[in-house]
Amino acid sequence: MKVQGQHYRTIWLKADDPTTVQIIDQRHLPHLFVIEDIRTVQEMAVAIRDMHVRGAGLIGAAAGFGMYLAALAAPRDDFAASMQAASAHLRATRPTAVNLEWAVSRQLQVLQSAGDDVELAIARLRQEAEAIADEDAEFCRRIGEHGVSLIEAIAGRKNGEPVNILTHCNAGWLAFVDYGTATAPIYAAHDRGIPMHVWVDETRPRNQGARLTAWELGQHGVSHHVIADNVGGHLMQHGMVDLVITGSDRTTYTGDVANKIGTYLKALAARDNDIPFYVALPSSTIDWQKRDGVHEIPIEQRDATEVRTIRGWDGEQLRTVLLTPPHSPAVNYAFDVTPARLVSGLITERGICEASEAGVRRLYPEKFTS
């Protein structure tokens, strides 16, 4: 996608130095556009854990590149053990987004295919990291192509009035390698000239909506308003939301959706108001092992400081200030699970399906053995 007219992805190999990975350091957005050089797997693990990069697809791509960086530095006489340690280190950074585990496993298979040939392993890990990134971008583009039909159908009933979409967190291109998931149909509809307006949930405590989704939409020229997290229900009751689209960090093969904390409440409000609630995700976000999202998906608990403080721009620099009484403790659950029964459908790179085992099976029959 474009930043001030120039095309960027969220992660790439440095043009003149393929031993360095470059990322957009999202901690500084929307106030500063900072590109960070990542040279080691340790630096990549920190970048994932501390959310320089974030969002399910991008976490997966970052892990893919992290395995390549690990191979560049791994001692030749202890290569296999060192790579196992690197994979464990990356896997431990963030538990909920299944793309992380998926990308690391994909790289471990590549490693195995190279046998004892270290140089071949390095070459293949690099190729695979780039393939994971390219695939992520292409799948998101296709999600946009499929999802735009939902927006077109609503637009057809609105006589030129803008279609109002509510989204939560950032499932935009910053959360992936390009295009995004929840935002891909929005960008595609906007590019087709469909009048659109987006309600952007601020998404406390990290404010991915207020900081990142709002910035992305602004860069793309999409009309939007940032709203406090609790506003959505009121808007829905007053006919001001036509469609909700969110992303997902892990979705079970039965259609239960783990996404940023607060998503479940939006799904409940949408159901109460008969508003379609769709989830856009690539198949790399589907957990083919888990049936019961509420009880089986690991929910990341982050540092309570993120709840107790708030970070913003004071006109000159980014500052973090205390929000709560100094001694009030806080808890910080980062995700929740929306049961499949509240989800109108899943928008994937293969099309739109019902959020159910039958629906997912129809699009991905090869993933089911019986």
- Using CB under 6 A as the criterion, which residues of the chain lie in contact with ligand MRU when the complex forms? 54-57, 169-171, 175, 181, 208, 246-249, 259-260, 334
Nearer to ligand MRU, 87 or 246 (CB): 246
Backbone angles phi, psi at 107, to 5 degrees: -70, -35
Backbone angles phi, psi at 239, to 5 degrees: 70, 25
Strand partners, 196: 163
Alpha carbon distance 197, 166 (integer Å)? 9
Distance of CA 160 to the CA centre of its chain: 31
Nearest to 301 by CA among 96, 17, 7: 96
SS3 track for 209-220: HHHHHHHHHHHH
Alpha carbon distance 348, 1 (integer Å)? 20
Nearer to ligand MRU, 181 or 338 (CB): 181
Q: How far is the CB of 56 from ligand MRU (least distance, A)?
A: 4
Q: How far is the CB of 35 from ligand MRU (least distance, A)?
A: 19
Residue 25 annotated in active site: no
Nearer to ligand MRU, 106 or 266 (CB): 266
Q: How far is the CB of 279 from ligand MRU (least distance, A)?
A: 9
The beta strand positions in 53-112, using DSSP E, are none
Alpha carbon distance 292, 183 (integer Å)? 27
Q: Which of 178, 249, 287, 336 is catalytic?
A: 249
Tokens of 72: 């560049």
Q: How far is the CB of 160 from ligand MRU (least distance, A)?
A: 30
Q: Return the active site residues.
A: 249
